Amino acid sequence: MTRNVAREMLKNTLKWILYRTNPSYRISKNNQKQMEVLNENINQIKICNEEIKCEITILQKQLGNFQKHKKGFSNFGFRPWLKNIDLEKRILEIGPLFSPNIKKENCKNVFYADIRTTEEVKELYKDHKTVPNDEIVDIDYVIRDSYYECFNGIEKFDYVVLTHVIEHIPQLISYFQDIATIMNTNGKICLTIPDKRYCFDHFRCPTSFSECYDIYKRGIKNLPYRVLDQVISSTINDPVYWWNNITSYEHLPNDRYKNEGIYQQAINGKYIDVHFSVFTPETFLIFIYNMVEFNLFPYRCVEFYTTEENTFEFNCVLEYEPNIQINGSMENKEEKVKLRKLIVENVDT
């Protein structure tokens, strides 16, 4: 019910109440029927009023989140690690598109990288209504094969910024190891990751370490089943709705086979850009715990920010520490203790 309709119903109800107070009023079947309708109108008005109150409460919470963390907001959302970045250090931001987190006018040592050239990015988004083509930033480095090959012989970085990047990576374990080759010791990876519970990945199963490990060990580069998983499972991208209707199946996809052709393209070897990995805060922490356990992860988790209410992103900062990959090392043991504690603190509800 819209607010205008509610107001009109309220106006009519008040008129009827005034009419009922008239001394000449007499009960009749017709009056009784009108009374039933008016009572229903009153109930609908109450429901509408509660919905408006709910909307106001949600907006107040969102405003509170913003005021609480306003220093950590970029144009697109909550980036709590921004306030801790040293702009005098060397920074590499991946996939900045038209709104980088670290702008060149604020930092002389920030560089932008993508798997496409500037021209290719603009061509890709030329018909995209939400991406202003003329504001797409220039790409400094084009990553065709690996970070190691792209940056071989180039000074290493103190920060690598990855916002909404790792979910697009088919070989996730290899990817984290590759990035380590371009980082200074104690350099940091700043991550913003979509929480699959509150976005269009809502109905998808979280990515497991065993799946990623199998991909890593067998050198699998093409993941058609993950492409299929996205095209048949995507739903509405509304974090406020999912926060308030976490168990709802109203928006369960019912046209699952309309994009089967995309799956067939992936089978034939074409790269389809989808969310190959989907995580919640808990499942991501379990994923990196297992990577540490298998001596595959040369990073310690130094900052972790769970998903804010009515949003769909969580944030993590990883610090490069090669000794964590050494089985039985003090660094390895300490990191696993810390991660177990973080997992308990971030159990999905």
Helix (H) or strand (E) holding 193: strand 183-194
pLDDT per residue as tens digits for the range 12-57: 555 544 444 444 334 444 555 656 666 676 677 666 666 666 656 6
Helix (H) or strand (E) holding 304: strand 299-305
> Phi and psi of 110, rounded to 5°?
-100, 140
Q: Is the pLDDT of residue 96 over 90?
A: yes
Which of these, 327, 346, 326, 318, lies nearest to 175 by C-alpha position?
A: 318
If asked whether residues 123 and 9 sit together in one domain, one would say no
- What's the CATH code of the domain at 94? 3.40.50.150
Q: Look up residue 263 and give its two tokens.
A: 């799956």
If asked whether residues 277 and 329 sit together in one domain, one would say yes
CA 188 to chain centre: 20
User: Which pTM value belongs to this model?
Assistant: 0.78
Rounded CA gap, 347 and 314, in Å?
13
pLDDT-based confidence at residue 206 (cuts at 50, 70, 90): very high
pLDDT at res. 62? 52
If asked whether residues 37 and 97 sit together in one domain, one would say no
pLDDT per residue as tens digits for the range 240-287: 999 999 999 999 887 666 677 888 999 999 999 999 999 999 999 999
If asked whether residues 39 and 183 sit together in one domain, one would say no
Rounded CA gap, 64 and 59, in Å?
8
What angle (nearest 5°) sits at the alpha carbon of residue 156, between those of residues 110 and 75? 25
If asked whether residues 225 and 253 sit together in one domain, one would say yes
Residue with tokens 């790792």: 166
If asked whether residues 168 and 303 sit together in one domain, one would say yes
If asked whether residues 125 and 249 sit together in one domain, one would say yes
44, 71, 98 — which closes off a domain? 71
If asked whether residues 166 and 262 sit together in one domain, one would say yes
Rounded CA gap, 39 and 26, in Å?
18
pLDDT at res. 298? 97
If asked whether residues 283 and 193 sit together in one domain, one would say yes
What is the span of the domain harbouring residue 131? 73-345
47, 71, 95 — which closes off a domain? 71
pLDDT at res. 181? 97
Which amino acid makes up residue 108?
K
Rounded CA gap, 349 and 346, in Å?
9
Contacting residues for 348 by C-beta, under 8 A, at least 6 apart? 197, 280, 281, 282, 283
Contacting residues for 195 by C-beta, under 8 A, at least 6 apart? 279, 280, 281, 307, 312, 313, 314
71, 104, 121 — which closes off a domain? 71
> Phi and psi of 300, rounded to 5°?
-110, 145
Q: Is 164 left (phi over 0), alpha (psi -120 to 50) or beta?
A: left
If asked whether residues 20 and 78 sit together in one domain, one would say no
If asked whether residues 237 and 315 sit together in one domain, one would say yes
Number of domains in the chain: 2
pLDDT at res. 140? 97
Which of these, 236, 344, 325, lies nearest to 281 by C-alpha position?
A: 344
> Phi and psi of 43, rounded to 5°?
-60, -40
pLDDT, mean of residues 158-177 = 97
| CA distance to 20, 27, 154, 289, per residue, from 293 (Å) | 76, 79, 31, 6
Contact (CB, 8 A) for 277 and 207? yes
In the chain, % of residues over pLDDT 90: 69
If asked whether residues 252 and 300 sit together in one domain, one would say yes
